[in-house]
């Protein structure tokens, strides 16, 4: 990978697996949106950015310091995805889904944002998830200084912890409001220490996450993969359960993809969802 600073942008070259559409539209994140020219704008870690592809280069708005401190890690740009793909090609089906999904990168998202977002995702479709999260950020986050339409940071757990379900009524997220508050209080009070969990084992982190009211297997595993960067997590939603059952039958052990089961999951999910061209609940 090489990168160069231009006027208000950093150009990245030499990254073979960095497809903006696949990375942002594969179901792992909900705060990036494309305009009619395919330029994505979004927010992570309280910082806004705009990304565009020109030929073999990706351009990220901001300074070289912004790139080094936020975006290089967030987009996991130092990981060799080509090598991982070679290890995951265990059969013809995986070769097919990897070819189809090549370009997906697992984003290193803020752990609290990932937990809260996937609580919201329960029994929900992606357009509605994005709408609820946008409202959450507009109502309770901080407005960011950026040169497009208003953008907002993700509200902290501490900010939400003192609120009631009535306070969250503008989100129109139903029973999920209660779950958001339980999780916010657990994180704010450090009964759920996400930073400490990120340094431990996947199994311990999964068990700890599931002690929070409203967090089951799917939300826990999504938080492990997308918020704690535990790449051996293998979230199972309706798409994944269907795809795995059709291809591998009952009793399938995702450990065959270890230690990169999470990336295998993303390739399978993106392939299944794209081919069906539907928007079921997650």
What pLDDT, in 10s, does the model give residues 88-108? 999 999 999 999 999 999 999
> Which of 165, 192, 197 shows the shortest CA–CA distance to 181?
165
CATH of the domain at 223: 1.10.340.30
Calculate what percentage of the chain has a pLDDT beyond 90. 90
Instruction: Count up the domains in the chain and report the number.
Output: 2
Determine the average pLDDT of the residues in 233-259: 92
- How many Cα atoms sit within 13 Å of 27 on the Cβ side? 31
Count CB atoms within 10 A of the CB of residue 117.
Answer: 27
The answer as to whether 159 is a domain residue is yes
**What does the mean pLDDT of the chain come to?**
94
**Residue at 212 is within a domain:** yes
Look at residue 198 and tell me if it is in a domain.
Answer: yes
* CA–CA distance, 157 with 161 (Å, rounded to integer): 6
Cα 89 from chain centroid (whole Å): 23
d(CA 194, CA 260): 21
Same domain, 117 and 222: yes
Given phi > 0 = left and psi -120 to 50 = alpha, else beta, which region is 194?
A: alpha
Q: Using the 8-state DSSP alphabet, how is residue 271 labeled?
A: H
Kindly report, residue by residue over 250-281, the tens digit of the pLDDT: 889 999 999 999 999 999 999 998 876 644 45
Let me know if residue 125 belongs to a domain: yes
Q: In which domain, by residue range, is 189 found? A: 111-227
The alpha carbons of the chain give a radius of gyration, in whole angstroms, of 18
The pair of structure tokens assigned to 203 is 């199994």
Examine residue 238 and state whether it is found in any structural domain, yes or no: no
Which residues sit opposite 280 in a β-bridge? none
- Do the Cβ atoms of 232 and 258 come closer than 8 Å? yes
| Residues 66, 15 within the same domain | yes
Direct distance between the N- and C-terminal alpha carbons of the chain, in angstroms, rounded to an integer: 35
Q: Give 146-177 pLDDT, tens digit per residue.
A: 976 789 999 999 999 999 999 999 999 999 99
């Amino acid at each position: 990978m090489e990168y160069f600073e231009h006027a208000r942008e950093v150009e990245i070259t030499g990254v073979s697996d960095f497809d903006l559409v696949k990375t942002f539209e594969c179901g792992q994140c909900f705060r990036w949106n494309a305009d009619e020219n395919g330029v994505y704008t979004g927010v992570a870690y309280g910082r806004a950015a705009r990304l565009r592809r020109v030929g073999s280069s990706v351009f990220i708005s901001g300074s070289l310091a912004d790139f080094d401190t936020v975006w290089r890690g967030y987009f996991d740009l130092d990981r060799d995805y080509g090598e991982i793909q070679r290890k995951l090609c265990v059969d013809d089906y995986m070769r097919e889904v990897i070819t189809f999904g090549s370009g997906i990168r697992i984003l290193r998202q803020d752990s609290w944002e990932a937990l809260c977002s996937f609580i919201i995702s329960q029994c929900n479709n992606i357009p509605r998830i994005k709408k609820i999260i946008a409202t959450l950020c507009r109502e309770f986050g901080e407005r960011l200084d950026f040169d497009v339409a208003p953008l907002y940071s993700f509200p902290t757990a501490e900010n939400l912890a003192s609120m009631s379900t009535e306070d969250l009524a503008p989100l129109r997220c139903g029973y999920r409001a209660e779950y958001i508050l339980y999780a916010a209080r657990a994180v704010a009070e450090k009964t759920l220490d996400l930073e400490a969990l990120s340094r431990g084992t996947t199994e311990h982190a999964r068990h700890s996450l599931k002690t929070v009211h409203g967090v089951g297997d799917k939300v826990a595993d999504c938080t492990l993969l997308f918020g704690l960067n535990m790449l051996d997590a293998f979230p199972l939603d309706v798409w994944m359960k269907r795809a795995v059952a059709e291809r591998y039958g009952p009793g399938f052990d995702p450990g065959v993809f270890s230690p990169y089961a999470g990336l295998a999951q993303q390739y399978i999910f993106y392939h299944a969802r794209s081919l069906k061209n539907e928007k079921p609940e997650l």
